[in-house]
Structure 1
Amino acid sequence: MRLSSALALVGLAATSLFAGVQAAENSDVLDLTQKNFASTVNGEDLILVEFFAPWCGHCKALAPEYEVAATQLKAKNIPIAKVDCTVETDLCQEQGIQGYPTLKVFRNGTPSDYQGARKADAIVSYLQKQTQPALTILNAETVADFSASDKVVIVGVLPADSEKRKILLSVANKLRDDFTFGVIEESEDLKAGGVVLYKKFDEGKNLLEGDFTEESLTEFITVNSVPIMDEIGPNNYAKYMDAGLPLGYLFVSTPEQRTQYGPEVEALAKELRGKMNFVYIDSAKFGAHASNLNLKESWPAFGVQNVQNGAKYPVDQAQDLSIENIKAVVDGVLSGKLEPSIKSEAVPEPNDGPVKVVVAHNYKEIVEDQSKDVLIEFYAPWCGHCKNLAPIYEELGEAYKGSDIVIAKFDATANDLPTDVPFQIQGFPTIKLRKAGSSEYIDYNGERTKDGFVEFLAKEAVNKFEVKVEKKEAEAEPVQAEDIEHDEL
């Protein structure tokens, strides 16, 4: 059910909308608790809820953006709220919250994950799209304003009973979270039977040519909605990840470097549109991201990331950064002939401690040993949860020493995963069990106690090994993962 657009009811709705729900002083963000959560989210056509922890750095960064969005959306009769998971632990467990912040959109009580960026304008735009029909019916008076209403707008010129309109509606329903769609039966300015994508960058608009199918229309939108070469940052990072195309980064530290190297790379980006995306990245702000591409922090620099499997292809920094060297790497990536760069710590010698140390170069030897069950922790040295887990994990390793159940750890900041591993690390610590005789990985989501791990392994491991556990009264650390910051991208 969509939010009512009857203007006569807006004043009354604003008066009664938040009855029984308290917002913090001078805040338009509602505070929800176990007592008022169900009645609030079930009573709203649309509401955004943030599940947070006060100590979480990402939550602190989001807070001012969230406040701005709340004020703007309140005027549009769209409430947004928050839940403190350090207080409302049962409620957050019921909602399946495993990391902070988690944002969920509730439609009449039914949740879905928020897919937008964590900036005020992105939050407002995302929720406004949720209140609109997937496909807005336009006329000669409304089409011009509608076409300029968002950064990317798709308009079809299609008869009401045509098969093409059904196709446009189907695609609009699938992509409504990301784009604004409209349709008009006929227009003097637009080609009948076609689709035009309006955008506030590059050439301004694109016309769909060739086949008109769900697949071709989706590809047309996906390709043309991304600028030929944009500046990457927090607002659009997720969009490039979701696009699925290899991503080429040009790191520059000065306007002069951008002027010198940008035009040739932009020409390459235009030539390869639809095959690879290209972006500028400000090394003054996000230079640490170079290590994620196995590049040194020396500018300018260029590297390509396969966003689907995490493979990295840096341009050799021992050579001058030339368009020829960039093209050689790009061509190698697209042809599949270039081997990815693998970052790895040295293989530890010896490696006979209670917890096996896994690095990129011994990953397959240890983790994919089919005779063993392997419980592996993917961690970051700076992660507070990982530090708290360390002594428990060492004790666990001692308990299983000499068995066919291996307890292992992998510093995911200093080593690359093999590209054929069927997952990427989204938070720290991430703990998985790779069963003996199988390529399957099972997520560990239990309590981070010795008891919790032992019970899990007794149930899930193929190899059986009895470990006695002394029950302790100490409270287990909440199960949650610290978000990977992607160097603030």
Structure 2
Amino acid sequence: MRFSKKTLFAAGLATASSLVSAESSSDSQVLVLGTSNFTSAVEPEPLMLVEFYAPWCGHCKALAPEYDTASVELIKENIKLAKVDCTVEGDLCNQYDVKGYPTLKVFRSGSSVDYNGPRKSDGIISYMKKQALPSLSTLTPETLAEFKKKDKIVVVAYIKEGDKASTDLISKIAEANRDSYLFGVSHDEAAAKEAGVDVPSAVLYRTFDEPEVKLGKDFTEDALASFLKAETVPLIDEVGPENYMQYAESGLPLAYLFVQPDHKDKEAQVESLKSVAKVFKGKVNFVWVDAVKFANHAKALNIQGDSWPSFAIQDIENNLKYPLEDVSSDVPGKVSSFVAKYVAGDLKPSIKSEPVPKDQDGPVHVLVADAFDETAFDDSKDVLIEFYAPWCGHCKKLAPTYDTLGEKYSSHKDKVTIAKMDATANDVPPSAGFQITSFPTIKFKPAGSKDWIDFNGDRSLEGFVEFIALNGKHKVSVDIEPLNETETTEHKEAAAKPHHEEL
């Protein structure tokens, strides 16, 4: 299965939570659907959320009680939730292109789009309520007060009646962000005066930090976009599977404070960062993390020790990591100095690497991050690299073939390099120009080129040799011993089956 850079980390954060098994609530209002009743149940509904799941899936088990709780609340709003067991209804799940569990889809009168919201009950409820409303609600003096309290984040634009340009602008912004926030527009001048703004302007009403934040005088698309990006996240909040994507999609680097959850000074440590977060608001988002529950995420950010609190900045878009170990002696002071250097561009990212091998006696060149550029960008050679994980079943299955491939090209090492890199023990350096999102990933670069080619072909000896001869600058080919009849049959059967990647 393939994941984006953002969902990789979200999945990592979700791991601890997903291991908890929970039974469905007896009060659940979730409909059970299958081939026999799916169309008749879904098509008449103007809005419905459907979960496609597998009973053995840990993430599905973790979602179950949250989904049940949400169903009870949302049925009051005439919004139904349903589920489909993909181990029973395989054809139905294939029809809706379900490739992982759980997959959630929002249906409107039978047509579906992917659900991109949170997976906690309150988040599901909030998301689906937004889906039930128009992207922009026109407010009256009587409905304004209630609307401001409808969700955790509500944006109200105060616009003079007849100002079509400003109304069109807020409509465009509301439609683009309808899954995330509630938007309303008031044309009442008295309401604008009471809100303390001149028209046109906007006020963000929220349940954290300052409860009201005013946009100011610059009512433009860029100003509104920047306003939402900066003001819709708390100065510092706990991050977990239910809200990680909000940060990942903000476009800002994410700064983590890893704290020991039962430490007597935990609250003070978190609180001490609010002043720092305020200084860098709009440049870096700050969060705190349970260092015990998500210890593996700390390691993924190259925090090597287990002394808390510790700190790290993650450039999510480029998957760059900037760890700062033990900061217990002065959390705000050390973090403030560190973040200032990061914002100024004075920090180098941390690149995790295994030691450079003393020799390369094996059939395949063992590549590590510290020697990546030297090997990968050797302009004299065609370079094939497999990025693997030791626990990956597909990688283990490929290993004998890949070793044989290395042996076949051993007499052509001056022209072709067959290499592999453990992508769990080594970071792919920024110089590579790509990141790894599934295992195994196989990349090829012809001699003298700076561009990488994805290998998506047949993972057989023949497939690799044909690919290298076709795409390499040196056009090196090697002889392959013919396969026996049994092996040929097995190979054809395997090739006919779709590849199922895993992380």
Letter in 2 for 1:66: Y
Which has the higher mean CA deviation after the structures are superposed, 165-174 or 118-127? Answer: 118-127
Correspondence 1:126-145 to 2 at 5 A: 126-145=127-146
Q: 1:407 to 1:217 in 2, by over 3 A?
A: same
- Determine the structure 2 residue equivalent to 1:243: 250
Q: CA deviation at 1:351?
A: 3.7
Answering whether residue 391 of structure 2 is matched by residue 391 of structure 1, we say: no
2:489 equivalent to 1:471:
yes
TM-score normalised to the size of structure 2? 0.78
* 1:300 matches 2:306: no
The reply on whether 1:265 has 2:294 as its aligned counterpart is no
Residue 168 of structure 1 corresponds to which residue in structure 2?
170
Q: Which amino acid aligns with 2:384?
A: V
Find the counterpart in structure 1 of residue 4 from structure 2: none
Q: Give the 5 Å matches for 1:447-458.
A: 450=460, 457=467
Aligned match of 2:338:
329
Residues 98 and 479 of structure 1 are in contact (CA less than 8 Å); yes or no, is this contact kept in structure 2?
Answer: no
Q: In the alignment, which residue of structure 2 is the partner of 1:112?
A: 113
Q: Does 1:312 align with 2:313?
A: no
Matching residue of 2:454: 442
| 1:284 Cα offset (Å) | 3.2
SS in 2 for 1:284: coil
Structure 1 segment 101-250 matched on structure 2, within 5 A? 101-162=102-163, 163-186=165-188, 187=191, 188-190=193-195, 191=197, 192-250=199-257
Q: Distance in 1 between matches of 2:494 and 2:110?
A: 36
Question: Please, which of 361, 373, 383 is the counterpart of residue 364 of structure 1?
Answer: 373
**CA deviation string 1:162-215 (max 9, x = no partner):** 211111110000011111101110115223321000000101110001421111
Which piece of structure 1 moves more, 330-339 or 455-464? 455-464
Name the SS of the counterpart of 1:256 in structure 2: coil
Separation in 1 of the partners of 2:495 and 2:64?
A: 29
Distance in structure 1 (CA, Å) of the matches to 2:49 and 2:465:
37
Structure-2 separation of matches of 1:26 and 1:117 = 21
Residues in 1 aligned to 2:131 and 2:85: alpha-carbon distance in whole angstroms: 25
Contact 1:147-1:153 at 8 Å conserved across structures: yes
Aligned residues: 454
Instruction: Give the drift of 1:263.
Output: 4.2
Q: Deviations over 1:343-388 (max 9, x none)?
A: 1112234345455433322333444556425352343x44xxx135
Contact 1:355 1:393 in 2 (8 A): no
Query: How far apart, in 2, do the equivalents of 1:421 and 1:118 lie?
Result: 34
Q: How has the CA–CA distance of structure 1 residues 220 and 459 changed in structure 2, closer, same or farther, with 3 Å as cutoff?
A: farther
The Cα shift of 1:230 comes to 1.1
Quick check: 1:99–1:480 contact (8 Å CA) kept in 2?
A: no
Tell me how far 1:294 sits from its aligned partner: 1.6
Which letter maps to 1:281? V
Asked whether the equivalents of residues 291 and 297 of structure 1 are also in contact (C-alpha less than 8 Å), the reply is no
Give percent identity, aligned residues only: 39
> How is 1:388-427 mapped onto 2 (pairs within 5 angstroms)?
388-399=394-405, 401-403=407-409, 408-426=419-437
TM-superposed CA distance for 1:139, in Å, is: 0.7
State the Cα deviation string for residues 416-459 of structure 1 (Å, max 9, x = none): 22235455444x42524345335245374x78x64996599489
Deviation digits for residues 279-305 of structure 1 (CA, Å, limit 9, x no counterpart): 222223223322122222111212211
Match of 1:363, SS state, is helix
DSSP 3-state at the match of 1:243: coil
Are the structure 2 counterparts of residues 358 and 125 from structure 1 closer, same or farther at C-alpha, using a change threshold of 3 Å?
A: farther
1:255 CA displacement:
4.8
Separation in 1, partners of 2:444, 2:110: 36
Kept in 2, the 8 Å contact 1:355–1:394? The answer is no
Distance in 1, Cα, partners of 2:363 & 2:112: 42
Unaligned runs of 5+ in 2: 1-23, 410-414
Question: Are residues 83 and 367 of structure 1, via their aligned partners in 2, closer, same or farther at CA, if it must alter by over 3 Å?
Answer: farther
In angstroms, what is the RMSD of aligned CA positions? 3.5
1:21-64 CA-to-partner distances (Å, cap 9, x unmatched) read: xx999864444556665666555433333333443322222222
User: C-alpha separation between the residues in 1 aligned to 2:216 and 2:186?
Assistant: 18
Contact 1:301 1:315 (8 Å CA) reproduced: yes
CA distance in 1, matches of 2:477, 2:89: 38
User: Could you tell me how far apart the structure 1 residues matched to 2:291 and 2:134 are?
Assistant: 41
Q: Which residue does 1:46 correspond to in 2? A: 47
TM-score where L is the length of structure 1: 0.80
Residue 287 of structure 2 is matched in structure 1 by 279
Q: Is the 8 A contact 1:377 1:409 kept in 2?
A: yes
Q: What does the per-residue CA deviation read over 1:218-240, in whole Å, with 9 as the maximum and x for residues that have no partner?
A: 11011001101112222222211
Q: Structure 1 residues 405-414 or 54-63, which shifts more?
A: 405-414
Distance 1:50 1:231, change over 3 A: same
